[in-house]
Amino acid sequence: MILYLLIIIGSIVLDQLTKIMVVQNLDLYETTMKNPILSITHIRNEGGAWSIFEGHMWFFLLVGIIALCIFSYLLYKNRYNNKWLTVGLSFVIGGTVGNFIDRFRQGYVVDMFQTEFMKFPIFNVADICLVIGVICIFIYILFFDEETNNK
């Protein structure tokens, strides 16, 4: 269980530290480290990916609380079943909390990583953790979940 707590806490701390560094060192909409792959751009996102549901902070807070309850329950229930599932759930919880902190404190999420080689929403460490978590959960479902694989 300590590994999963470290993943959750590490995800939250890394997310919050990168956001603090960006806010302290870049003006809003300022870009730095621009190269063909990635640049750092300080933005405030009041919505989800591609700014969907922009301005509906309470929706995201409510969904965040519900998601945290569900994923925390699943992590506790399955903590000894499979590492792919529990690591995935840990990353999802860490990413959810990271963005939840921003939305609760500020009403928006600080995003900073911008891909230069394709049109993609600007994202942050919490978003990266969410994606890693979902990939781990999909690996579990595709290769290790007996219910899914016995159908």
C-alpha 124/C-alpha 98 separation (Å) is: 9
- Tell me how far CA of residue 143 lies from CA of 14, 58, 82, in angstroms: 30, 37, 11
How would you write the pLDDT of the chain (151 residues) with one tens digit per residue? 788 899 999 999 999 999 999 999 999 999 998 888 999 999 998 866 656 666 667 777 888 889 889 888 888 887 777 899 999 999 999 999 999 999 889 989 999 999 988 888 899 999 999 999 999 999 998 998 776 666 5
Residues labelled as active-site residues: 111, 127
Instruction: Output the pTM of the full model.
Output: 0.87
**What is the predicted pLDDT for the residue at 30?**
93
